Amino acid sequence: MILLRRAARAAVLALVVVPFTAVVTTQPAAAEAGSAARARRLLDQLKVASPLPLRGYSHRRFMPRWARHRGACDAREAVLARDGRRVRRNAACHPVRGVWYSPYDGRWLRSERQVDVDHVVPLSYAWRSGASRWSQARRRAFANDLTRPELITVSHSANLAKGGQGPQSWRPQRRAHWCRYATSWISVKHHYRLFVTRKEKVALLNMLRTCR
């Protein structure tokens, strides 16, 4: 009788544990695949055109400085607080301590001096994709956008290596981040109705193939 009761309890536990484990292990892959499918649909809706000239571009045309976000904090400080762990800020909202992960190269950074806030779609690249025709206010909103996946904390060295390049000439060092990088790039371009070049589109599609 005791053995039968133990067997029954084991069977009940098996029924509870197995489905829970399946959900935990399969959900990230399903979510990534879903975002990739959506990204492909959005990419198909983007206009394909040749890049516009860089003539007239300057960083100040987008952001003479980071825009104020809340209280004493600007957009950069808001991103560092959002992306970091155990971030401590001074009275002026500037981070004085924290730990940040750079998804481009997989580095953990323990000093604010080692990190940059990267524009996923670089400002100069956006300029050549149609932003040169925008108003100053729209360019400023783009450069300080905390709603779309346009601003991300990365290592200073990775940001320097990327510069103003697009996905056809630069990709994150970590292949595991290609899917997220491509979906973020497409999401930003679709929201702001920026066009893509033919080579850029091919490169994005290739990166989306890494989505699980």
If one counts every other C-beta atom within 10 angstroms of the C-beta of residue 44, the result is: 11
Q: How many domains does the chain have?
A: 1
∠ CA 204-174-99 to the nearest 5 degrees? 120
CA separation (Å) from 23 to 19, 45, 95, 170, 180?
Answer: 6, 33, 37, 35, 21
Amino acid at 102: S
**Which range marks the domain in which residue 59 is found?**
2-208
CA distance 106 to 174: 7
Q: Is the dihedral of CA 154, 158, 160, 165 positive or negative?
A: negative
Burial class (CB in 10 A: 0-12, 13-18, 19+), 177: buried
Q: How many residues does the chain have?
A: 212
Q: Cβ distance 172 to 156 under 8 Å?
A: no
SS3 173: coil
pLDDT tens for each residue of 91-121: 999 999 999 999 999 999 999 999 999 999 9
CA distance 7 to 119: 58
Q: Cβ distance 45 to 189 under 8 Å?
A: no
- Stretch 8-22: mean pLDDT, rounded? 31
Count how many Cα atoms sit within 13 Å of the Cα of residue 32 in the half-sphere of its side chain: 18
Report the mean per-residue pLDDT for the chain.
87
CA distance 149 to 128: 20
- Stretch 154-173: mean pLDDT, rounded? 98
Pair of tokens at residue 16: 């509870």
CA 179 from chain center: how many Å?
Answer: 10
pLDDT tens for each residue of 35-82: 999 999 999 999 999 999 999 999 999 999 999 988 889 999 999 999
CA 188 from chain center: how many Å?
Answer: 9
- Stretch 152-159: mean pLDDT, rounded? 98
CA distance 67 to 84: 20
pTM: 0.84
